[in-house]
Every structure is written in structure tokens, then in C-alpha cells.
Structure 1
Amino acid sequence: MKIIRRGTLRAALVTSVAVTALLLAGCSGANGANTANGSGAGSDSTAASGPWSYKDATGTTVKVDHTPKRVVVLNDIAISFIEYGLKPVGTFGQLTMAKDARFKGLDTDGITQLGEAYGDIDLEQLAALKPDLVVTSVYPKDEQGTLDDTQPGYGFKDLEQQKQIQAIAPVAQVEWGGKGEDVITTIADLAESLGAKESTVATAEKRFDAARDDLEQVTKEKQLSVVSMYADGDGAYVTRPSDEPTLQMYSSFGVDLVNPKPKGFYWGIYSWENAGQITGDVILLSQQGYQVADLEKQPTFADNAALRAGQVHSWTFPALDYASQADYMQQLTGWLEDSKQLS
């Protein structure tokens, strides 16, 4: 069933961005998006030409005397901006654009990579870009969605680095928690306020709706359990679906996502001695950390049914925009169609 998410309320919020703060709640796709240096506002853009302000997830109202054109963005959100026709001048995050599968097929020409790893941000390089705005995310610290103001925004090494970045350009933080569709709407509204074309977003939303319908259909036809996990030398980490916006959204679309047994927020952590407790018909394995060949070397996990059946697929943490999610849901639908129940 079509869910009304945007429409007139969204338009009213974005249009008024020049005079009031947007009240917003808050981590590869359409390759045909039109991009340009700066924000690339189009004829149907809802960006205002005067002063710009934005009330971010921390309650801070970020103000710029013009619509920001030179924007540096955390890679999770940079992908979404590119999909919506905006081109950041710089990006940072856990992975470089070259190593992040989500950037495959996207136009990254002219975007400066500001570091090689999490917290690795070249401040001199950042200053040289003369950004109008830096955009990152902030994660809740518990199931209640509490934000920890003693910690820096995501991608920043520490509060001292965050202060140094804020001395170069104002920083806006988007909440990466709660309902996935709410985060998607937040990012779409922010992108439109910065110059993304409303028609570009609307086209992506239609693709999202179609992909959602296909995913809902396959979950009704096939009773399959799905595990989202990350692994490294210390053990296996199974994502708690309710604490990850994308997985929360997939659960609402009917995907049977496995809840980890160990207590804790976001992750259920299994030592390799206990990794045999992880069960599911399909595994979504993080693009970071151990991959299939590494899992096959773990004595307590090598006989995992999904691993033995070849039902392991890459979990890229698809960006929370309509286009990226449409692409990943199409892939997930295909994987589920081709998978069999193992238990």
C-alpha cells in the first residue's frame, strides 16, 4: 500500500526554509542523476535564495547568510545528495569513496576525499575547500533515541576535532536512528533545501515505492529469516533490527530479520566460541570486516547453514535516500527469490 510521506507538508516545510528553521528528526543507485558543482539548484528546486537556517538533531539552529553551495558531507549522506543531483565538494567517513561499494556508478568527479579512515579528516584540506556547511550524522545511544552530547558527531575523531571543524564551517547533524522512512524524509528535505530538484526526489520516490512493493510481495511468498552481521577477529556482531533505521524499515515491509540473543543496543555480540548460535536462512554481511572466505575459516561458523548454502550477500549499509534504497531493495528481493528455507 502506498504510504503518504511527503506532499504538501514537505513542500511547506522546505519552502519556508529561508525564514524558519526546518524541524527535522535527525548512513549506489540512480546513475542518471544530474549533478553540478555546489548545490546545482534546478528550476523546480525549493531552495530559497536568501538566508538559510536548519534546526538539526541536536537542537542547534545552523544559520548561513545564503543557501550553502559548497558542502562537505559524511559519506553516508553524501551518497544521498549525489543521488538527488547535488555534488558535495568533499566527503569523509569510515571508507574512502574508492573502497565504498555504495559509490560505484556515481559521479564523484571533483569531490575531495578528506581522509582514509574514521576520524581521519585533513583540516587544512577542509579549510582549502572553503565550505559553507559540513553535514554529518548522530546516532542515539539507546533504544529510547537518547543523543549523547558528550560525544562528537559521527565521523569526527573527538570533540576537539569537531570544534576545529566548526571553526571552519557550521556543522549540521542528522539523526541516524528511529524509523528508516523518517530519516529518508529528513535527508530528502535537507537536500531540497540545499537545491535538489523536487522532481528528482519525486522520481526516486516512485522507484522506492515500486521496489518496496516487490519486497513486500516476496516476503509473503517465501518464509525466510535474514541476519545482518559484521565480523572480525574478536567475534560476530548481529545487528538489532529495531536499532538500525534501514533494517527497521525492512522489518516493516515484512522481512523477517533475526534479533540477536545477546542483550545490548544496536549489536548483539557473539564471541567466536558462541558464533554457532547465529542462525538464519540468508546472511547480509557487512562490506567491512570479515568476508565469506574469512567466515569459512572459523571452526565454529564454517558449518553455518546459510554460509554453506551460499546464501550470503553484501550488506553495504545502503544510504537512506529513495534511490539508494530502491536499488538495494531490488537486490534483496532477488536474493530472497533465489534463496531457500534452511531450517
Structure 2
Amino acid sequence: MVSSPAARRPFALFASLLAVALVLAGCSSPGSGPSATGSSDAWVYSDAIGTKVRVDHTPTRVAAFADQALTLLSYGITPVAIFGRVPVKTDSRFAGYDLSKTTIVGNSYGEIDLEKLAAAKPDLIVTGIYPTDRKGTLDTTQPDYGINDLEQQKQLQAIAPIATVEVGGAGQDVIDANVKLAERLGAKASTIAAAKKRFDTAAARLTAAAKAHPDIEVTQMYADADGVYAVKPDDEPVTQLYKSLGVDLTDLHPDGEYYWDKYSWENAGQMMTGDVVLVNVEGYQVADLRKQTTFADDPALKAGQVYPWIDAALNYTAQAAQMNKLADLIEKAKSVS
């Protein structure tokens, strides 16, 4: 899902290491105990990086990075612990979910309170991994997304096994992988079916909106002091999903650098082709964009068609809401480019 360039693994520079010296009392290695003996009662899950994750029972106490936690919550599974990239309590994506029984163990990228996490006694930790190129390469020499470094990842693995979900390729494939894991963790079939029905309805509506307004081009971007970063729709699972449903998304250099088309503020005029612009909430917003002399004349900005856009998790519930919101924007938009 779309986040700031500094937070996306393909472009992150995690040069500094987090020096952690904690003794995790009572935490066993994921390779010890009944789960390593081949017990017929063991829960075994093959994750995105090819690891066969083993627990001696179906995990009931699951900890997760925020994006994966949102998906579990959407299917009726409440994590015992969550760590996020931004403060979880102010993350609007969690609105409507009861987190009263969930321990928040991290509110900034790579900052995880290992003592609190261990105290929550998870029997599984769920994280994500992003490809490093459009071939889908997964760099397992780097930590999973949301984890500061390999040392910290080892410390998490000393608390509970980690199951890694790939967040790359086709959006529907990521949704399907998340559903598979939720099913294995005990999500009710009726809950998933109801969420899928809402998703299918929203997808049909988005397709109809795009078809009825073929002249509306949508740009998804992030901006900060360094310039503008336009998402390349085929490289981001969420935008790939919308494109597959018929949405016309800005894609000026599809064969160029992976994931982002980057523009300095001096060259920002080169990417002003969208009629509707969705701006990532972690960066510059409308007031900031108006202060940039090279962006102030952007047709969508002048028409009031630039909107804050927050990442939505790749699950049926979140994407149904997001697709309905996007359909609303397309239906009311004017062609300005």
C-alpha cells in the first residue's frame, strides 16, 4: 500500500541500527518444543518467503504489524499486540475496531517494545514484505516491513514465530493471501463471505464509475520538501487493483524506475495530468501544495480536486470502503487536464 518513500522498503535507507539489550525471560526459540517434532496437531503455514511456520496448536494469540492487524480485525480476529508505523491510537484506519484487549507495542517504524510484546504472550507474529523490483524479488537479507533490523527480527522470533505476507504484485492476489491466512487462523467463513459481498458490490460500482467517466484520470502521489512522488500503478497492489477495475491512473513512465516517478519541485509541471489527485496523508497536503509556485497552477488543485488519501489495508472490508470513496470522487469530478 502507498506510503511515504522513506517508509517503503524499496527506497528505505535503514542505515542506523537499534541497539537493544533485553533479556526475554521465558521466551523459547521457535525451533524448540512440540512444534518442531512433527506432531500431527501442529499448525503449519507456508508463508510468502518460503518459511514453514510451525506452532504446536492453531495460534489464538496473534501479534501483527498494523497493516496485517487491520486485515485480521476485518475478519473477526483481534490481535493481542500491534506495532505500527504511526501511532496506532490516532490511526484512523482502526476506527470502529475494539482494541481494549490489544497491547500497542510500537507507534513508530522499527520501534517495538519487546518487553511489552513478550508480556502479551503471542504464539504467532504476522508481518509483511514488499518486493524490491517489479519482478517480485523478495530480499530476505533485510528485515520484514515494520522491523528495524535483522537483530530486532531475531528478537521477535525469540518471542514467537513470524509469518510473512507478501505485499506486492496484483492487489487481488494480496487480498487472497490475507484471506488464506485469516482462514487458517480461524476466521469464520460467514464473516469472510459477507465482507467479500461488500467488496464485490463496491468493485462493480467503481468499474461503473470509471466507465461512465472515461475522461477522468486519477493521480496517486506523495509530496514533501524534496518534491513529488507519483505512484506507478502497476507496481502498487492497491492501484493495480483499481486499474484492473477500469480506473484511469496516471502512469507517465511505466517502464522506468520501480514504484515511483520522482519529480523535483522545479519539474513538477511534468506530472500534472490528473483530474483527481490523491495525496498521501503522511506528506504535504493542499495548503502545502499551494505554497509551491510550480504546483500552484495544477489544474486539479485549482479545481478543488486534490484530496488527502490514507492507506487502506488489502482486505475486503477496507477496500470496499476505499473503492466506494474513489467512486464518489470520480463521479463528481470535472475533467480539467
TM-score scaled to structure 2, two decimals?
Answer: 0.85
Contact 1:208–1:325 at 8 Å: present in 2 too? yes
Out of 64, 73, 77, the position equivalent to 1:86 is 77
Look up the match of 1:324. Answer: 318
In the alignment, structure 1 residue 61 sits paired with structure 2 residue 52 = yes
Counting matched residue pairs gives 295
**Map of 1:25-44 to 2, 5 A cutoff?**
none
Q: Distance in 1 between matches of 2:82 and 2:285?
A: 26
Contact 2:199–2:316 at 8 Å: present in 1 too? yes
Amino acid at match of 2:240: Q
Contact 1:215–1:253 at 8 Å: present in 2 too? yes
In the alignment, structure 1 residue 271 sits paired with structure 2 residue 285 = no
The Cα of 1:303 is off from its aligned counterpart by 1.4
Look up the match of 2:278. Answer: 284
The Cα of 1:315 is off from its aligned counterpart by 2.1
Q: Deviations over 1:120-162 (max 9, x none)?
A: 1111111111110110000000010011121110000011111
Q: Structure 2: which 5+ runs fail to align? A: 1-39
Deviates more, 1:227-236 or 1:308-317: 308-317
Contact 1:226–1:258 at 8 Å: present in 2 too? yes
The Cα of 1:314 is off from its aligned counterpart by 2.6
The Cα of 1:106 is off from its aligned counterpart by 2.2
Out of 319, 332, 335, the position equivalent to 1:338 is 332
Deviates more, 1:62-71 or 1:309-318: 309-318
Q: Distance in 1 between matches of 2:98 and 2:277?
A: 30
Contact 1:238–1:260 at 8 Å: present in 2 too? no
The Cα of 1:209 is off from its aligned counterpart by 0.6
Q: Distance in 2 between matches of 1:116 and 1:211?
A: 31
3-state secondary structure, aligned to 1:230: strand
Amino acid at match of 1:51: A
Deviates more, 1:69-78 or 1:312-321: 312-321
Out of 78, 91, 113, the position equivalent to 1:100 is 91
**Map of 1:216-227 to 2, 5 A cutoff?**
216-222=207-213, 223-227=215-219
The Cα of 1:182 is off from its aligned counterpart by 0.8
3-state secondary structure, aligned to 1:174: strand
Q: Deviations over 1:54-109 (max 9, x none)?
A: 11111110000011111111111111111111100111121122232211222222
The Cα of 1:260 is off from its aligned counterpart by 4.2
Contact 1:232–1:290 at 8 Å: present in 2 too? yes
In the alignment, structure 1 residue 295 sits paired with structure 2 residue 286 = no
Contact 1:287–1:315 at 8 Å: present in 2 too? yes
Look up the match of 1:177. Answer: 168
Question: What is the root-mean-square deviation in Å for CA atoms of aligned residues?
Answer: 1.3
In the alignment, structure 1 residue 152 sits paired with structure 2 residue 143 = yes
**Map of 1:246-261 to 2, 5 A cutoff?**
246-261=238-253
Q: Distance in 2 between matches of 1:225 and 1:320?
A: 23
Look up the match of 1:6. Answer: none
In the alignment, structure 1 residue 189 sits paired with structure 2 residue 180 = yes
Identity in percent? 54
Amino acid at match of 1:342: V
Q: Deviations over 1:203-231 (max 9, x none)?
A: 00000111011110011110210111011
**Map of 1:228-239 to 2, 5 A cutoff?**
228-239=220-231
In the alignment, structure 1 residue 119 sits paired with structure 2 residue 93 = no
TM-score scaled to structure 1, two decimals?
Answer: 0.84
Q: Distance in 1 between matches of 2:126 and 2:203?
A: 28
Q: Structure 1: which 5+ runs fail to align? A: 1-48
Contact 2:286–2:307 at 8 Å: present in 1 too? no
**Map of 1:201-216 to 2, 5 A cutoff?**
201-216=192-207
Contact 1:137–1:174 at 8 Å: present in 2 too? yes
Q: Distance in 2 between matches of 1:79 and 1:260?
A: 32
